[in-house]
Structure 1
């Protein structure tokens, strides 16, 4: 099973990542924007990938992945992708962490990361 130490290792391998707290749980942020963190109990994590990436993952394996939405007044807002850490392959989860980082990182930071050949398409 993927644990907090694995999440930390995947997240902190990326540029300018800070570990903090988001809703009283560990969270990994880039420029103050959370992109991955475990949920209470650490059996699941939420990654801030885009809607298209989330839809692909859910279609790939709905027993492992689930879209996360929250209600704000009368609107539903897409949050990201919930991942079952006991069922997700570590390499696929690491891929999703990179995609979430790219989704939240400033464009200049991504450009520098890609230029250093650290990029992940």
Structure 2
């Protein structure tokens, strides 16, 4: 199981990422674009995910992933139960969501930095 602090440790190292508390909910964003957000009780994590791929993600593990509320279906967004995520999967989801929000050159530089380190 992962926590908000675990996500925070990943997100703090991502270029242009900022943490905000909005309406009692922890959110991570780049500029004005939110790429990860938590429910108020911090049991669910919503994250950016390609709309055309989200049904396959949910079908692959419906005990972990689910669609957001109907009013948020227009966004590229999926939600997950934190108790069902491990560190590796959470890190992958957070970095992928972040990569959808930054310019390609930022993502490329980050990826190249990882391959060197």
**TM-score normalised by the chain length of structure 2:** 0.83
Out of 45-54 and 94-103, give the one that drifted further. 45-54
Query: Which residue is 1:108 aligned to?
Result: 105
Matched positions, count: 116
Larger relative contact order, structure 1 or 2 (CA cutoff 8 Å, min sep 6)? 2
Q: Does the aligned pair in 2 maintain the 1:69–1:80 contact within 8 Å?
A: no
CA-based RMSD of the aligned residues comes to 2.2
Query: Which residue is 2:17 aligned to?
Result: 17
Q: How far apart, in 2, do the equivalents of 1:49 and 1:18 lie?
A: 19
The structure with the greater share of residues assigned to helix is 2
Query: Runs of 4 or more off by more than 3 Å in structure 1?
Result: none
Q: Does the aligned pair in 1 maintain the 2:67–2:79 contact within 8 Å?
A: yes
The structure with the greater share of residues assigned to strand is 1
Structure 1 unmatched ranges of 5 or more: none
